Structure 1
Amino acid sequence: MKKELKIEGMTCAACVKAVERTVKKLPGINEATVNLSTERLLVDFNNKEVSIDRIKEAIDKKGYKALELEEKSKSPEEILNEMKSRLILSMIFAIPLLLIAMVPMFIPALDKIAMNHLSVFATIQLILVIPVIIVGRSYFIHGFKNIVKLSPNMDSLIAMGTSAAFIYSLFNTIRIYTGVHTMNLYYESAGVILALITLGKYLESIAKGRTKDAIKKLIDLSPKEATILKDNIEKKVKFEDIKVGDIIVVKPGEKIPVDGVVILGETSIDESMLTGESIPVEKEIGSNIIGGSLNKNGRIQYKATRVGKDTTLSQIIKVVEEAQGSKAPIAKLADIISGYFVPIVMTLAIIAALSWYFFGGESLSFAITIFVSVLVIACPCALGLATPTAIMVASGRGAENGILIKGGEALEIAGKINTIVFDKTGTLTKGEPTVTDVIGFAVSEKEVLEIATSLEKHSEHPLGEAIVRKGNEDNVEVFDVEGFKALVGRGVEGKISGKEYFVGNDRLVKEKNLYSDELDALVNKLSREGKTPMILISDKVLGVIAVSDVVKETSKKAIELLHRKGIEVVMISGDKTETCEYIGNLVGIDKVYGGVLPEKKAEVVKELQGVGKKVAMVGDGINDAPALAQSDVGIAIGGGTDIAIESADIVLMRSDILDVAVAINLSRKTIRNIKENLGWAFGYNILGIPFAMGVFHIFGGPLLNPMIGALAMSLSSVSVLLNALRLKRVKIKEE
């Protein structure tokens, strides 16, 4: 059987692996998959061999909390509030601790007071650091537990570093109480590191909460109620009570509750929230309609064909959830190194201390000093700063340039992208109908636009609105119209100065028997160019107005910049393949996928990933959300829907796709900077550890004082910070 459990206490990919590994070790487990984004464990097991209580118990022993979905657990708001409280408490004690420890170093008078009252000086720092350690105890619990399980992570480094600083300081505090004159106290290092790490965790929680909001907003697209027709009586029912086969009534301006087929009436439906296409789709008897879309102007009745989890919208939600869960976590370079670094440093510290005590003939105090010196010099302060400081500066630099980067993982992967998939509508194109051509047959172009504008001024159809906008831009004369009528699915009609005129599609012209080979050739030519022809007729064809979703001015240049970086560019759209190929050729796209349904976009991304490509998806609509989540990096256009923005890893706030290349430049330079930072961080440690072990002391050289070790540690942190600040000045825009 299969069972889903909620897992509390997970913070990173190492936690995911730990839970999966623990569950898979149990008898009767077929598969165990953890989704970090939703904090859910899906386990497939033989209930004759293992019970769900046994699985929960094993997870609880690992240090996490397993709950069945029916059990009450902490809400995201409660978790965030708890983290905020921890952060405030940490800062309340860490800031004065830092000031008390550091200020005397720069003010001689205060330094003299501290020297004369060392026991008081040490006691105050000890009192201030203890609450910070209590508040940050989870780092020690998980960090040391991972060391015991031979899988150290960043929590392990935090725990080791702060413990080394605290234990050594406590050791020296005891020595001060016994009359020894020493200033070797590092309480502030332990306190400030823990407070800053808590700040980072708090910001991560905020970002994680926003990701979950995307799913909630998708669910909210469906109306809470629907009107069904039963025994010729209209009745309001809850959304979840709709059954397959129910006859549903939808009036103009109402949302379609579930998928179905029209059985009565005609209308145009705005499917842009789901398909991304800006032009409403005409619907008549027999047409399929999608739940979550908006009925524009006609009353219809339709039969429900798919409800609940089977609807198109539900499938999109499912794909987004699965894609978020299946996205492989990137193994950070610091995590990989720390997997070897922590156990090696611990081993070296023990070997050095024991060697000096048993073979060097030194005292226990000397051996302890050696042991703690190695841990202090190896304290991962710079290592802990290497990645977050670079990411912090880069994120700020991105924000200054209108690029919102939601986390270090997105920033890291963006630089490795070799294929970028663009949605068409609203991304490469403007996302709204625009008049591109006015062609006169029997009258002038000006007259065509005047008559069409006069008629369409009374229409609410987006194509008509595009014609009216064009007429207003050209300041054409607008005539009075009598007997205006909207012909659903065909066009509009009305009388001007007693003469009847029509503006509509080729279906309307054929009904009036005015279609010709010349008109057919023009209509086909315009259609191949991705344009929608609106034909003006009276007793004959007077002219044609072509409306299209035009390409953005910056699209071609953006593609050129990406090609210069050796990146393959793909376009994907629900629009006709013919239209997509025309747009693709216009801007220089390498590969075009047209006529792709919303739920299939993620499959195209998955196919590209399947042949080893690192894929970024750029989109703006709800229909793009699954593909944004499935891609290695999802990039949303800032002017798009909230759900696309919240499903994405990077948001281009200025809606300028030239910023895609800027984001990739920023990523590549940031990753280079992080690697340099890690080099600095470990360079100090590698040079300092032999000194701390007393290797050079054997040959008469100096023994590294822990104070010097702390200074080296501080220098490594300063160098990392200064290097990260260089990102403020690097060039990320190309001409």
Structure 2
Amino acid sequence: MSPTKDIVELRVDGMDCNNCATSIQRFLERKGLQDVLVNFQTREVRYRRDDLSLDEPAVKAGIKKLGFTVVEEAPPGHEGHVHDHATTARRRLLFCAILTAPLLIAHLLMAFGVEVGLMHNKWLQLALAGPVYAVGGLYFGRSAFAGLRERMLNMDVLIFLGATAAFVYSIVGFVWNDPQYYFFETAATIITLVLVGNWLEARAVEKTTTAIGALSDLQETKANRLTASGTLVSLPVEEVEVGDLLQINTGDKIPLDGTITTGNISVNEAMLTGESLPVDKRTGEAILGGSLIVSGQATYTVTAGYRDGTLAQIIELVKTAQADKPSLQRLADRVSAVFVPVVIGISVLTFLLGWLTGYATLTQAIMNAIAVLLISCPCAMGLATPTAVMVGVGRLARMGVLIRGGSTLERFAGVERMVFDKTGTLTTGELRVGNFGVAEGEDPQTLLSLIYRMEQASSHPIAKSIRDYTKGLLPTNFASRQSTGPIDGQPAPAQSITEVPGKGLVMSSDNTAYFLGAARHLTTSVPPTGTDIVLTRDEKLVAWLSLSDDLRPGAKAVIDDLKSVNIEPALLTGDSATKAHRVADELGIVDVYAEQLPAEKLAVISRLSLEKPTAMVGDGINDSAALSRADVGISLGGASAAALDAAQVVLMRDDLSLLTSGRKVAALTLRTIKESLFWAFSYNIVAIPLAALGYLNPMWAALFMAFSDVVVIGNAIRLKSRRAD
């Protein structure tokens, strides 16, 4: 889950609608750049660096040629803040609407037989329509000509052509002094109605970006550092370094990730983990930047810098998720790429066939051709997926489920098998040590202290349980003394301890080799029955432990829920077959793969993924390879950094019910995308022939086109509260 190092972020001014974003995105993708995300609402352009295809100066130059401006990066703490495009769009719309209203009202009254003599004056019509066309021409024309210059036709080309055709036709009538050619109200109304659609689009899309905005608002900009002399110094969070000591009090937002040094606090982590109840944190426990302190005060040591903390990584994850496209969107992109030239071709044919065959007069043929240009809406196809993904990913993030992208969302919804690790996933991970024994002639206290020290080098759930057990049997002052030097009769602290994934810990001290790990890797002797963990000195067995753990609350309900929707559960673990089958029997899992090393887990997942879409749910470092190979890798929030980095779905709470609720929201998001794409395709299939045959005049065509985007976006916004069955 660490931030992607090769991703470049730029902030771009001048993007006012989805067409602008589409132009920039297609330009960058045509140049060979990958993972491109252009969000007009946040003015953000992101892509994976590839200087061989296009370096950063060339990217900026290309964006400038398209008619946009690359600005300096926003100050820390303000990334992702939504720019108020709705305000700019509203001002532009009000100006055009005020001038268009007299023309449109007079036209409608004339349709009902009411003549407004003043409005027949050609100079007045030109005075009202001219400024509107100038505003529209500047607004739509800039994007249209920039797209044409880069050989990319976008929706603005259709709008600009339609409005220009109506206005130029009216100017011809103006010069000839022939009122039959006056269509000033059509040109002005086209522009105004499309601006209505853009304003509504800006308002609606603003609601789809709330997840990033809310997360960004959690970022604290200041921190109180406690100096060696005991003085408090306030400084920007980007200047705080790992290892600094910070002070926090009731009501503060925790600036950065860290570990509590002194004090006890109660924190609200709802926006980060989805957990609504405050969580008590004590000395030695980890805290997350962005959390709100409900009560208490403490000092803590910073463990991650401003750009590497949990909150920054979550924001990065959510942003990256928006850039990733499901296969459905890639289909829509391919259609949109050829849509505009096809529509222009249909428009030309409408004019030629209508006029040359006598089906329509010259004026009517032109109006039909304009209507074809205006009724068409590739925007709806382009907006269908990203808006739904934004809302779906945001809803999941608020639940405590982080999704790496649209394609992951699609795969998560289509999972047919879910494979679970056992320890720390289906079980609590809070293992209890049942028995502890030592070889004859060995000192239990010495071996307990050695086990304690070695297990400090591991983040595996078993290591925590063993540490807690051994610490309870050691002298009360052991933990505070063990870091300063040897304890009476005990070996000196180890200089190097290495964790071997799937096996255990190895250490060298005073030319002696120690191994602490799974009993099945002991080859020199046979440990007592029921032994799970062994400690060897130069391959000689000197101590052993047996372990037991409990099922995680809700695990049975989750397995039953998965089976009820025909998702096949399986158990894949490095633990013994006896313990694996006991857990599987309690949960009703049939397929069990026990005593698997990391490489063997990878092989099992590879084989299962070939059979049907398979998700892997794990939490340990030995699961990272399997998580990466699965169709969907799912990691629990308490997982190791390696597992978090490998997973495509991260559960921010150790709550398995998030699996089923999250999958339902993913399926609902996918269904919403299909609904919106169906509407977008159906709309164009029906609307274009109606316009070509003359059943829709240009003004109605502009109105329908404007609202087709709003329908698609509105369907996406429903995701926020729509029930996920």
TM-score range, shorter chain: 0.5 to 0.7
Aligned to 2:441: none
Q: What per-residue deviation string (whole Å, max 9, x for no partner) do you get for residues 304-324 of structure 1?
A: 8x6637966488368637834
1:376 equivalenced with 2:376 (yes/no): no
CA gap 1:367/1:339 in 2 versus in 1, 3 angstroms: farther
Q: 1:65 aligns with which of 65, 69, 73?
A: 69
Whether the aligned pair in 2 keeps the contact of 1:97 and 1:188 (CA below 8 Å) is yes
Q: Give 2:415's aligned amino acid.
A: T
Quick check: 1:180 aligned with 2:189? no
How do 1:291-370 and structure 2 match up within 5 A? 292=289, 308=305, 313=310, 316=313, 320=317, 323-324=320-321, 327-328=324-325, 331=329, 335-347=333-345, 349-350=347-348, 370=365
CA contact (8 A) 1:581 1:592 kept: no
- What is the match of residue 45 of structure 2? 39
The DSSP-based 3-state class of the residue aligned with 1:529 is coil
The whole-number CA distance in structure 2 between the counterparts of 1:410 and 1:202 is: 23
What residue number does 2:433 align with? none
For 1:683, the equivalent position in structure 2 comes to 686
d(CA) in 2 for partners of 1:252, 1:45: 46
User: Structure 2: which amino acid aligns with 1:323?
Assistant: T
**Secondary structure at 1:341's aligned position in 2?**
helix
3-state SS of 1:66 partner: strand
Kindly state the Cα deviation for residue 8 of structure 1 after the two structures are TM-superposed: 0.8
Which residue of structure 2 aligns with residue 6 of structure 1?
Answer: 10
Superposed CA offset, 1:381-414 (max 9, x none): 56656787999999999999x99999xx979965
Is the contact between residue 164 and residue 375 of structure 1 (CA under 8 Å) also seen in structure 2? yes
Q: CA deviation at 1:214?
A: 2.4
**Alignment partner of 1:16 out of 15, 25, 35:** 25
Distance (whole Å) between structure 2 residues aligned to residue 257 and residue 392 of structure 1: 31
Secondary structure of 2:201's aligned partner: helix
Q: Counterpart of 2:87?
A: 84
Write out per-residue CA displacement over residues 353-397 of structure 1, whole angstroms, 9 at most, x where no aligned residue: 67999xx699xx966764553232342356656787999999999
Task: Work out the CA distance in 2 between the residues paired with 1:67 and 1:562.
Answer: 50
| Contact 2:225/2:244 (<8 A) preserved | no
Q: Once the 2 structures are TM-superposed, how far is the Cα of residue 90 of structure 1 from its aligned partner?
A: 0.6
Look up the equivalent residue of 2:342 and give its one-letter code.
I
Q: Distance in 2 between matches of 1:396 and 1:7?
A: 22
Match of 2:618 among 577, 582, 594: 594
Aligned to 2:144: 143
Shift in alpha-carbon separation, 1:45–1:711, aligned structure 2, 3 A: closer
CA shift digits 1:246-299 (9 cap, x unpaired): 685889999696668x9x999999998889999979877xxx967759999999
Q: Which segments of 5 or more consecutive residues in structure 1 lack a partner in the other structure?
A: 25-30, 434-488, 492-503, 531-548, 645-653, 692-703
SS of the residue aligned with 1:6? strand
Counterpart code for 1:134: V
AA matched with 1:418: G
CA contact (8 A) 2:12 2:70 kept: yes
Q: Find the counterpart in structure 2 of residue 198 from structure 1.
A: 199
CA separation of 1:247/1:619 partners in 2, compared to 1, >3 Å: closer, same or farther?
A: closer
| Deviation at residue 336 of structure 1 after TM alignment | 3.5
- Contact 1:268-1:283 at 8 Å conserved across structures: no
CA gap of 1:386–1:354, structure 2 versus 1, over 3 A, is closer
Alignment check: 8 A CA contact 1:382 1:716 kept: yes
Q: How does 1:547-558 map to 2 (within 5 A)?
A: 550-551=553-554, 555=558, 558=561
- C-alpha spacing 1:289/1:83, structure 2 compared with 1 (3 Å): closer
| Cα distance in 1 between the residues matched to 2:37 and 2:713 | 32
Do the aligned partners of 2:375 and 2:687 also contact (CA within 8 Å) in 1?
Answer: no
- 1:423/1:571 contact within 8 Å kept: yes
- One-letter identity of the residue aligned with 2:554: V
Match for residue 104 of structure 2?
Answer: 101
What residue is the counterpart of 2:667 in the other structure? 664
Please give the secondary structure, in 1, of the residue aligned with 2:225: strand
- Cα deviation for residue 715 of structure 1 reads 8.5
Question: What amino acid sits opposite 1:528 in the alignment?
Answer: D
CA RMSD of aligned residues (A): 7.4
CA contact (8 A) 1:4 1:40 kept: yes
Partner of residue 603, structure 2: none
Amino acid at match of 2:370: L
Match of 2:550 in 1: 529
- Contact preservation (8 Å) 2:103, 2:128: no
**3-state DSSP of counterpart to 2:180:** coil
> Deviations for 1:505-528, whole angstroms, at most 9, x for unmatched residues?
78648989xxxx9xx99xx99952
Question: What whole-Å deviation, never above 9, does each CA across 1:584-636 have from its counterpart, x for those lacking one?
Answer: 974879865333479x98x977644xxxx4x5979889999x979985xx799
Deviation at 1:174, TM superposition (A): 3.4
Tell me if the contact between 1:125 and 1:188 (Cα under 8 Å) persists in the aligned partners.
no
Amino acid at match of 2:685: F
* Counterpart Cα distance in 2 of 1:99 and 1:718: 23
Tell me the distance in 1 between the aligned counterparts of 2:89 and 2:172.
28
Partner of 1:475: none
Equivalent residue number for residue 445 of structure 1 = none
Q: What is the Cα deviation at residue 15 of structure 1?
A: 1.3
Give, in whole Å, the separation in 2 of the partners of 1:160 and 1:527: 74
Q: Are the structure 2 counterparts of residues 594 and 166 from structure 1 closer, same or farther at C-alpha, using a change threshold of 3 Å?
A: same
Q: Which amino acid aligns with 1:529?
A: D
- CA displacement at 1:197 relative to structure 2: 1.8
Residue 630 and residue 326 in structure 1: after superposition, are their counterparts in 2 closer, same or farther (change >3 A)? farther
TM-score w.r.t. length of structure 1: 0.53
1:670 shift after superposition: 5.7
Distance in 2, Cα, partners of 1:326 & 1:199 = 23
Say if 1:667 and 1:281 are closer, same or farther in 2 by CA, change over 3 A. same
Deviation at 1:81, TM superposition (A): 3.4
Tell me how far apart the structure 1 counterparts of residues 190 and 676 of structure 2 sit (CA, whole Å): 24
1:224 — aligned with what? 223
Amino acid of the structure 2 residue aligned with 1:417: A
Alpha-carbon separation, structure 2, partners of 1:354 and 1:593: 61
- Write the deviation string for residues 26-56 of structure 1: whole angstroms up to 9, x where unpaired: xxxxx7875536435665659xx99976664
Aligned equivalents of 1:422, 1:91: Cα separation in 2: 57
Distance 1:630 1:684 in 2: 44
CA gap of 1:126–1:594, structure 2 versus 1, over 3 A, is same
CA contact (8 A) 2:389 2:669 kept: yes
Alpha-carbon displacement from aligned partner over 1:211-233 (angstroms, at most 9, x marks no partner): 2552563x53x98133354xxx5
- Identical aligned pairs, as a percentage? 11
Tell me, in whole angstroms, the C-alpha distance in 2 between the residues paired with 1:410 and 1:50. 25
In 2, the alpha carbon distance for the partners of 1:712 and 1:311 equals 50
The 5 A counterparts of 1:253-272 are: none
Pairs within 5 Å for 1:95-134: 97=100, 101=104, 105=108, 111-114=112-115, 119=120, 123=124, 127=128, 130-131=131-132, 134=135
Q: Contact between 2:106 and 2:119, CA under 8 Å: does it hold in 1? A: no
Question: Deviations along 1:561-603, whole A, 9 cap, x unmatched?
Answer: 5437xxx779999xxx9999959974879865333479x98x9
Residues 122-521 of structure 1: pairs in structure 2 closer than 5 A: 123=124, 127=128, 130-131=131-132, 134=135, 137-164=138-165, 167=168, 170=170, 174=174, 177-180=177-180, 186=186, 187-205=188-206, 207-208=208-209, 210-211=211-212, 213-215=214-216, 217=218, 219-220=219-220, 224-229=223-228, 233-236=229-232, 248=245, 292=289, 308=305, 313=310, 316=313, 320=317, 323-324=320-321, 327-328=324-325, 331=329, 335-347=333-345, 349-350=347-348, 370-380=365-375, 417-419=413-415, 508=472
Give TM-score, length-normalised by structure 2: 0.54
Supply the distance in 1 between the matched residues of 2:571 and 2:280 (Cα, whole angstroms).
22
In the TM superposition, what is the alpha-carbon distance from 1:680 to its structure 2 partner?
4.0
CA contact (8 A) 2:12 2:69 kept: yes
Is contact 1:143–1:159 with CA below 8 Å preserved after alignment? yes
Q: Distance in 2 between the 1:215 and 1:397 partners?
A: 18
Output the CA distance in 1 between the equivalents of 2:122 and 2:408.
43
